Amino acid sequence: MADLSVRENVCLKQYSTFRTGGPARYFAEPSCEDELAGAFAFAREKGLKVFVLGNGSNCLISDRGFDGLVIRIGKLMGDISSEEGKDGLTYVTAGAGCLLSRFGNYCAEAGLEGAEFACGIPGTVGGAVFMNAGAYGREIRDIALSVRYWEDGEVKEISASECGFAYRTSLFDKKAANGESFVIISITAALPKGDKGKILSYVEELKQKRTASQPLDVPSAGSTFKRPEGHFAAKLIEDSGLKGFALDGSGAQVSPKHAGFVVNNNGTASAEDILRLIDYVSGKVYLDSGVRLEKEVRLIGEFGGEG
Ligand SMILES: Cc1cc2nc3c(=O)[nH]c(=O)nc-3n(C[C@H](O)[C@H](O)[C@H](O)COP(=O)(O)OP(=O)(O)OC[C@H]3O[C@@H](n4cnc5c(N)ncnc54)[C@H](O)[C@@H]3O)c2cc1C
């Protein structure tokens, strides 16, 4: 297992932007593909379930934690490099653990156009591929050329057109839902050169837009719900009178700044409190508008029932 260290009973709160989560029974942060293979071998040997975590910015992690092995793909697997092609495009390859903000800023600083949207999304490249993350009219599928991933001890590379990218989903989302074991390792994006000054000022403009409209100083997982076809989740929630709404004194609240975000004020709410509020909001919106809101936030671990 090379030098992989597997820790026990690691509190997951610190690895989730929602600031919820009990302990992971086992937790490992591999630094290379060999260690990744070692982590899966460890899980197989012990008969453990595996969950692959990026920056935890789209996850609501259960108060009971995760009874298995959490494999976190972080900066140890987050190298970034680029190469100029003969076709005039620049090929940027980023490890799955690279933060999207670093990836976006790297491209902007190199005068490459098209990855500006990534700068303000607080996830990793791996999480962004899994979710086909996007903002301000662009998403990962617009810039991806190919994706490498690890599966059954083998590294595979597929083109973006094989990644099944659609609104906030991908082939990888489907694989996870089918219980397949895999880890996204890296993305290669193909970007044209542009006017660096314009690119940097667009990055700044998007940053200001985000700061003005989103509760960035309060724990959350971004948009709680996907955009329902023909509607905006935040507008439906506001129309139901739920902007700023809190079900109880737990700290879970529909953000008074952006109704599309459920927030964990002061980090005092439990994951169960947050989920209760999410369910209440989607129930009320359905009663009022007939529109079903689908969670964008992913639930990790067990919820409800007996402890
Ligand atoms: C303040 C705020 C603003 C946000 N704004 C946006 C936005 O504008 N647009 C947007 O799309 N999202 C936004 N998000 C949500 C979130 O940042 C994105 O969905 C992001 O892509 C998630 O990346 P992550 O690394 O945090 O993934 P995680 O939350 O850690 O994981 C998400 C899913 O991806 C899987 N996964 C992660 N890494 C890998 C890997 N290497 N291999 C296999 N599976 C993996 C996990 O198993 C999980 O199922 C926002 C969140 C916050 C808190």
Which residue of 20, 50, 121, 165 sits with most ligand 1 atoms within 8 Å of its CB, as the best mutation to test the pocket?
A: 121
Residue 306's pLDDT band, with cuts at 50, 70 and 90, is: low
Which tens digits make up the pLDDT trace of 113-170? 999 999 999 999 999 999 999 999 999 999 999 999 999 889 999 999 999 999 999 9
Q: What percent of the chain has pLDDT over 70?
A: 99
How many structural domains does the chain have? 3
User: Are 202 and 290 found together in one domain?
Assistant: no
Q: Quick one: tokens of 211?
A: 């700061």
Which residue of 17, 58, 155, 171 sits with most ligand 1 atoms within 8 Å of its CB, as the best mutation to test the pocket?
A: 58
User: Are 207 and 84 found together in one domain?
Assistant: yes
Quick one: pLDDT at residue 151?
Answer: 94
Q: What percent of the chain has pLDDT over 90?
A: 96
Residues 6+ away with beta carbon under 8 Å from 121: 57, 100, 101, 104, 128, 133, 135, 222
User: Are 71 and 103 found together in one domain?
Assistant: no
238-257 average pLDDT score:
96
Q: Is residue 93 part of a domain?
A: yes
296 flagged as catalytic: yes
Q: Is residue 306 part of a domain?
A: no
Q: Is residue 156 part of a domain?
A: yes
Q: Is residue 287 part of a domain?
A: yes
User: Are 199 and 274 found together in one domain?
Assistant: no
Instruction: Quote the Cα angle for 294-11-71, to 5°.
Output: 70
Q: Is residue 221 part of a domain?
A: no
Of the residues 32, 47, 75, which one is the last residue of a structural domain?
75
User: Are 207 and 82 found together in one domain?
Assistant: yes
CA of residue 58 to ligand 1 center, whole Å: 4
pLDDT above 60 for 289:
yes
Quick one: pLDDT at residue 44?
Answer: 95
Domain that holds residue 169: 78-213
User: Are 115 and 165 found together in one domain?
Assistant: yes
User: Are 62 and 44 found together in one domain?
Assistant: yes
User: Are 86 and 172 found together in one domain?
Assistant: yes
Q: Is residue 305 part of a domain?
A: no
Task: With both helix axes pointing from N to C terminus, report the angle between 196-213 and 100-109 in degrees, rounded to the nearest 10.
Answer: 150
pLDDT above 60 for 1:
no
Say what the pTM is. 0.97
Which tens digits make up the pLDDT trace of 18-53? 999 999 999 999 999 999 999 999 999 999 999 999
Residue 248's pLDDT band, with cuts at 50, 70 and 90, is: confident
Q: CB of 53 closer than 6 A to ligand 1?
A: yes
Which tens digits make up the pLDDT trace of 69-87? 999 999 999 999 999 999 9
Of the residues 56, 75, 94, which one is the last residue of a structural domain?
75
pLDDT above 90 for 58:
yes
pLDDT above 60 for 266:
yes
Task: Pick the closest to residue 149 from 123, 131, 172 (CA basis).
Answer: 172
pLDDT above 60 for 278:
yes
Quick one: pLDDT at residue 25?
Answer: 98
Among the listed residues 19, 72, 148, 168, the single catalytic one is 168
Q: Which residue has the tokens 């490498």?
A: 148
| DSSP H or E segment with residue 112 | none
Which CATH number is 101's domain given? 3.30.465.10
Q: Looking at this protein, which amino acid is placed at residue 305?
A: G
The rounded distance, in Å, linking the Cα atoms of 282 and 293 is 6
Quick one: pLDDT at residue 212?
Answer: 98
Q: Is residue 1 part of a domain?
A: no
10-24 average pLDDT score:
98
Q: Is residue 307 part of a domain?
A: no
Quick one: pLDDT at residue 2?
Answer: 58
User: Are 87 and 170 found together in one domain?
Assistant: yes
User: Are 157 and 190 found together in one domain?
Assistant: yes
Of the residues 185, 213, 241, which one is the last residue of a structural domain?
213
